[in-house]
Copies of this chain bind each other. A is one copy, B any other.
Amino acid sequence: MTSTPIADLWTTLPGGAGPRPEAAYRLLAAAVEAFAERGYHATTTRDIATAAGMSPAALYIHYPSKAALLAEISRAGHAATLELVRAAAGAEGGPVERMRRLVEDFTSWHAQGRTVGRVVNYELHALPAEDYAVVAGLRLDIEREVSGIIADGLAAGLFEVAEVKTAARAVTSLGIDVSRWYTGRSSESPQELGRRYGELVLRMLGARP
C-alpha cells in the first residue's frame, strides 16, 4: 500500500499546503463519523461541533458552511482513492498482477475506510454543483484506470470479457459496495476480504492462470 493511510487523510491541506489546524481536523473527523452514521441531511451542525468539542458557531470560523465540510471530505476521499488506483494500475507487472493488486487495495480500502467510503459514495447528491463536478471528474478517472487494465489484458489475450465497460463497472461496483455492508464485526479482515475479492474478480474477467 503506497497510498495515503486513512488516518492521515485529513491531516494536511489540499495541494500539500502545510498541516491542517487541529481544530479544523477535529471538525472534519467528527463530520465524517456523523455523515457516515446518520447521513448528511440528518446530521446537524450542532452534532458536528459538539463532537469536535466546540460550540456551534466555532464551526463557521473554519468552514463557511456545512456543505463545505462535505465537499472537503468528498474531495480528499476521492483523491486518495484515485491515488491508490493509479498506484496499482501503474505498477510493474502484467495486467493480471496489476488487476489483482488494484482489487485487493480498492476492496480493503473500502472495508477499512467504510465510514469515509459511505460519505464519499452515498452523499454525492448533497454536494453543491461545482463541488460535484470536481468529484465526478475524479470518479471518471478511477473508472478509466480500471478499464485501461482490462483493455490491456484483452489485447494481450490474458482476459476474456464481452465488454470492457460493463466489466469495469462490475469491478468498481464490487469494491464500492463493500463500504455499504462491511462492518468492523465482519469475520474477514479488510486484507483477507481484498484477497478473496481479487480471486473472484480475476476469475470473473476470465484471467488465464
On A, residues with C-beta under 8 Å from B are 37-42, 121-122, 125-126, 161-163, 166-167, 169-170, 173-174, 176-178, 180-181, 188, 193, 196-197, 199-201, 203-204, 206
Contacts and interface: CB of A to CB of B under 8 A. Distances in A.
Contacts of A204: 200-201, 203-204
A188 B173 contact: no
Contact of A181 (B161, B173, B193): B173
Q: Which 6 A-B pairs have the closest CB atoms?
A: A41-B41, A204-B204, A173-B177, A177-B177, A41-B42, A200-B204
Given A42-B126, A173-B181, A204-B204, 5 more contacts: A37-B125, A38-B125, A122-B180, A173-B177, A203-B206
A66 B162 CA distance: 45
Nearest to A139: B181
Given A122-B122, A177-B176, A162 B41 contact: no
Given A39-B125, A174-B174, A204-B200, A166 B188 contact: yes
Name the prevailing secondary structure of the A interface residues.
helix
A131 to B, nearest CB: 16
A78 to B, nearest CB: 15
Contacts of A178: 173
Contact of A174 (B39, B163, B170, B206): B170
A10 to B, nearest CB: 24
Nearest to A121: B180
A183 B52 CA distance: 38
Contacts of A181: 169, 173
A172 to B, nearest CB: 9
